[in-house]
Amino acid sequence: MPLEDLEHIAQPAADHGFWIISDEIYSRLDFDGKGVHSIAALPDMLERTIIVDGFSKTYAMTGWRLGYGIMPESLARRVELLLGCTATFTQFVGIQALAADQEMVSNMVEDYKQRRERLVSGLNAIRGISCQLPQGAIYAFPNVSSFNIPVRQIADRILTEAESQCCQVPILGNMVKAISGDALPPQTKRSIPLWNDLIYFSPLISSRPWNHLR
């Protein structure tokens, strides 16, 4: 999130004394290397920010349920009372991840970055779709408003007519979130790995449901 947006949020928090929960799980998936700002670093925010983070994105450990929070100690003592313990084998994997050569993370980010270029240019090549280049994380948000069809309906079409690996997650009005096939349970049968397959898949969507929508 741009610094000025964080400042915009931090100001009322400081003025009115409320807390911020900052989910920073994608902070290492920063494609342009510009650095990711944390609201906790803004003046007077450290004592009123709870940072939540985890291993699932940086170390591709989604589903391992291993995460952590960073917060003032007085609050941490309270939060501790609410939490159960993470499985020990998961903790050992977490230690291995932290102790490993972190180049693996940069390599993974580089790989995601190349897939991002291909995915976004593939989407933008489809008539009626415009997609901004995401600066981080693992999602693309193509704008499909030109079809003038409710986004849920578009998502349904992609799912059912293109036999695709996208699943229906409509967000923010006219935007569609294309989600990883492999994030779906295996029994969905539609499940195929994320980015690469979406890219293979883009000619399919350009030829079938998208044309059909016009």
Return residues touching ligand PLP (CB under 6 A).
Answer: 23, 25, 54, 56, 62-63, 67
- Other CB atoms within 10 A of residue 38 CB: 18
Cβ distance to ligand PLP smaller for residue 9 or 25: 25
Q: Which residue is nearest to ligand PLP (CB)?
A: 56
CB-wise, 162 or 179, nearer to ligand PLP?
179
**Dist CA 105 CA 103 (whole Å):** 5
Residue 133 C-beta: closest distance to ligand PLP, Å? 19
Is residue 170 a contact partner of residue 177, using CB atoms and an 8 Å limit?
yes
Contact 140, 133 (CB under 8 A): no
Q: In one letter, which amino acid is 211? A: N
Nearest to ligand PLP of 67, 69 (CB atom): 67
Q: Min. distance of Cβ 177 from ligand PLP in angstroms?
A: 11
> Mind giving me the DSSP string for 117-184?
HHHHHHHHTSTT-B----SBTT----B-GGG-S-HHHHHHHHHHHS--S----EETTTEE----GGGS
Return the number of the residue (96 or 148) whose C-beta is nearest ligand PLP: 96
Give the pair of three-digit tokens for residue 73. 């100690």
Q: Which CB, 74 or 83, lies closer to ligand PLP? A: 83
